[in-house]
Amino acid sequence: MDPTPAMRPLHRIQRRRIPAACSFLLLLLALLISPTAAAKSSGRPITDKEIRENKAACYTDVENGLWGFACRSSTTEKENCVLRCLSPECYNLIYGGDPLEEGELDYVRSHEYKYCMHKVSLGESLDGVKGSFSYS
């Protein structure tokens, strides 16, 4: 059976909406997956308040199990996962080969990490970030 002429325009409209909706969802997903890409284009440095808010959201994700059981196995593992969530690029640069260990407080790397986040938010090169602070 042939559909009535009144139904044909509706089918054309629906076909156009589906690709547009898919495109929108893909764009939204890309922005959610890559928060550092959005920060790079801001052209202004990330504020301490934004860092605190983002870190709180990362703690929530870790505590809800979104980062796996290992991230909830100890306080230090949780902190490593939160830092990785907050900025994977900076975590790999500063802590990647030598993550925090139980009971360790590393103020030098903490400052380097924050400096790295500042540079990423401005879209600047990360050359010289590691090793830029020393308290000897």
Q: What mean pLDDT is predicted for residues 107-115?
A: 94
pLDDT digits (tens, 9 = 90+) for 34-51: 444 444 456 789 999 999
pLDDT at res. 34: 47
Lookup: tokens for 43: 């052209």
**Do residues 90 and 116 touch, judged by C-beta distance below 8 A?**
yes
Q: What is the model's pLDDT at position 104? A: 86
63 token code pair: 């505590």
For residue 73, the number of C-alpha atoms closer than 13 Å in the C-beta half-sphere is: 10
Cα–chain-centroid distance for residue 73? 22
> What is the distance between the alpha carbons of residues 62 and 57, in angstroms, rounded to a whole number?
9
Lowest mean pLDDT among 16-25, 48-57, 87-96: 16-25
Residue 39: what pLDDT? Answer: 43
Where exactly are the structural domains of the chain? Answer: 1-33, 39-122
Q: Please choose, from the candidates 107, 69, 68, 113, the residue with its C-alpha nearest in 3D space to the C-alpha of residue 89.
A: 113
Taking CA atoms, 111 is separated from 8, 12, 39, in Å, by: 63, 57, 19
